[in-house]
């Protein structure tokens, strides 16, 4: 069976920043055998695009979207989600079935595959705390993998097809309450404009947001992009921002923080352009 394919798909549609260029082709496998078949032809892997900026010039080639990989299964101890399941769906399912331990994800607009690949975390917890293992496809082979994790990093090579998590049995009402509280905290601290989440990783023992704020960069604008005045580690798209507007501010922040503190901030977002983000099937995975 052939997979859905779309051409010239814009960053407005596939990234949470909602600015940037087009992807030449996006293909949407909806089951494991399609995923195994499509993976070797893909140049990029796309989850919800909540950590991604696509260069204004756009990118050639094919992105594999995990959006349609939405299977769910569970037993008494573990729950398995397809890579394309979104956090909102995951949390609604877990709350309904009394599966606790995932409430820290509330408000992250991401997919299961992206969360695992990035080892996403919030409120003192991270994906590596709850992951049992994941099914990874790489060049025709599938393997159950227990990745090595670091801060917003995993050593996964290939595409996560699905991931299995350990859950804690909990009262649905308690789970819903924790989700509600986490969402409330997020709304108080983070901007509501489109963004790609935290722009920089926190340097050892400090917070990128604090350093940026201390440099007086909150509210700094370029084109349609602005360093959020609510949280300095977010760059928001307040008015038709381009990827170049975003990257201009990234550069300005990096230079200013380095000049003042001698600290080189490291980007957390993923840049898709002709030089970055592309998969290499001949030399193992090479992506930033
Ligand atoms: C408002 C907002 C709040 C956020 N809050 C947080 C937060 O609290 N904590 C946090 O850690 N992050 C946060 N983020 C950032 C982002 O949501 C995470 O990095 C998330 O893990 C990205 O998931 P995604 O599905 O959107 O992946 P994408 O952005 O689509 O992709 C990110 C990377 O993962 C790879 N990838 C995606 N799916 C797969 C897969 N199935 N297999 C292999 N590789 C894959 C991509 O190739 C890319 O390199 C936030 C973002 C926004 C916009």
Q: What is the pLDDT of residue 278?
A: 83
If you measure from the C-alpha of residue 215 to the centroid of ligand 1, how many angstroms do you get, rounded to a whole number? 27
Which of the four pLDDT bands, split at 50, 70 and 90, describes residue 281? low
Report which of residues 72 and 287 the model is more confident about: 72
Ligand 1 atom with least separation from CA of 47: 30
For ligand 1, atom 9, the nearest C-alpha belongs to 121
Report which of residues 1 and 172 the model is more confident about: 172
Under 8 Å between Cβ of 169 and 94: no
All structural domains of the chain with their residue ranges: 4-68, 72-187, 198-268
* Ligand 1 pocket test target in 114, 125, 159, 246 with most atoms within 8 Å of CB: 114
The pLDDT of 165-193, averaged and rounded, is 97
Give per-residue pLDDT as tens, 224-241.
999 999 999 999 999 999
The pLDDT of residue 254 is above 60: yes
Which of the four pLDDT bands, split at 50, 70 and 90, describes residue 277? confident
- What share of the chain has pLDDT > 70, as a percent? 97
Report which of residues 2 and 28 the model is more confident about: 28
Q: Which active-site residues does the annotation give?
A: 152, 198, 268
Domain 198-268: give its CATH code: 3.90.78.10
The pLDDT of 270-280, averaged and rounded, is 87
Q: What are phi and psi of 12, to 5 degrees?
A: -60, -35
Count of H-run helices and E-run strands, the chain: 8, 20
The pLDDT of residue 46 is above 80: yes
Tokens of 217: 């960069």
Ligand 1 atom with least separation from CA of 194: 53
Under 8 Å between Cβ of 195 and 237: yes
Report which of residues 140 and 50 the model is more confident about: 50
Residue 282, burial from CB neighbour count under 10 angstroms (0-12, 13-18, 19+): exposed
Q: What is the pLDDT of residue 287?
A: 46
The pLDDT of residue 280 is above 90: no
Q: What is the pLDDT of residue 241?
A: 98
Which of the four pLDDT bands, split at 50, 70 and 90, describes residue 279? confident
Ligand 1 atom with least separation from CA of 127: 11
Q: What is the pLDDT of residue 285?
A: 42
pTM, entire model: 0.95
The pLDDT of residue 284 is above 70: no
Ligand 1 atom with least separation from CA of 83: 41
Query: At the topology level of CATH, where does 72-187 sit?
Result: 3.30.465
Q: What are phi and psi of 236, to 5 degrees?
A: -105, 155
Under DSSP, the state recorded for 183 is H
The pLDDT of residue 253 is above 60: yes
Q: What is the pLDDT of residue 1?
A: 63
Torsion over CA of 219, 207, 156 and 163, rounded to 10 degrees? -80
If you measure from the C-alpha of residue 49 to the centroid of ligand 1, how many angstroms do you get, rounded to a whole number? 7
Domain 4-68: give its CATH code: 3.30.43.10
Give per-residue pLDDT as tens, 56-98.
999 999 999 999 999 999 999 999 999 999 999 999 999 999 9
Which of the four pLDDT bands, split at 50, 70 and 90, describes residue 199? very high
CB-defined site of ligand 1, < 6 Å? 16, 45-52, 66, 83, 108-111, 113-115, 117-118, 120-122, 152, 156, 159-160, 195-197, 270, 287
Q: At which residue do the structure tokens 């290939």 appear? A: 158
At residue 49's C-alpha, the angle toward residues 245 and 179, to 5°, is 115
If you measure from the C-alpha of residue 111 to the centroid of ligand 1, how many angstroms do you get, rounded to a whole number? 7
Which of the four pLDDT bands, split at 50, 70 and 90, describes residue 140? confident
The residues, ordered by sequence, that sit 6+ positions from 57 with a Cβ below 8 Å of its Cβ are 21, 273, 274
Which of the four pLDDT bands, split at 50, 70 and 90, describes residue 109? very high
The pLDDT of 92-112, averaged and rounded, is 98
If you measure from the C-alpha of residue 113 to the centroid of ligand 1, how many angstroms do you get, rounded to a whole number? 8
């Amino acid at each position: 069976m052939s997979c859905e394919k779309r051409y010239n798909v814009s960053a407005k549609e596939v990234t949470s920043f909602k600015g940037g260029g087009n992807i030449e082709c996006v293909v949407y496998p909806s089951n494991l055998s399609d995923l195994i078949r499509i993976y070797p032809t893909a140049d990029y892997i796309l989850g919800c695009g909540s950590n991604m900026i696509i260069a204004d010039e756009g990118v050639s080639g094919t992105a594999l979207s995990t959006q349609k990989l939405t299977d769910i299964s569970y037993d008494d101890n573990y729950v398995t989600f397809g890579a394309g399941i979104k956090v909102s769906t995951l949390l609604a399912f877990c709350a309904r079935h009394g599966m606790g331990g995932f409430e820290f994800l509330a408000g992250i607009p991401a997919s299961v595959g992206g969360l695992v690949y990035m080892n996403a975390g919030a409120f003192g917890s991270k994906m590596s705390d709850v992951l049992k293992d994941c099914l990874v496809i790489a060049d025709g082979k599938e393997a159950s993998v227990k990745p090595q994790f670091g801060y917003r990093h995993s050593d996964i090579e290939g595409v996560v097809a699905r991931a299995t998590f350990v859950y804690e049995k909990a009262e649905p009402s308690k789970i819903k309450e924790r989700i509600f509280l986490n969402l409330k905290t997020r709304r108080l601290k983070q901007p509501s404009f489109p963004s790609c989440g935290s722009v920089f990783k926190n340097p050892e023992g400090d917070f990128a947001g604090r350093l940026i704020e201390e440099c007086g960069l909150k509210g700094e604008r370029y084109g349609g992009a602005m360093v959020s005045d609510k949280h300095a580690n977010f760059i928001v798209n307040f008015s038709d921002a381009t990827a170049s507007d975003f990257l201009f501010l990234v550069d300005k922040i990096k230079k200013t923080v380095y000049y003042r503190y001698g600290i080189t901030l490291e980007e957390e977002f993923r840049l898709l352009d002709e030089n970055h983000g592309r998969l290499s099937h001949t030399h193992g995975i090479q992506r930033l």
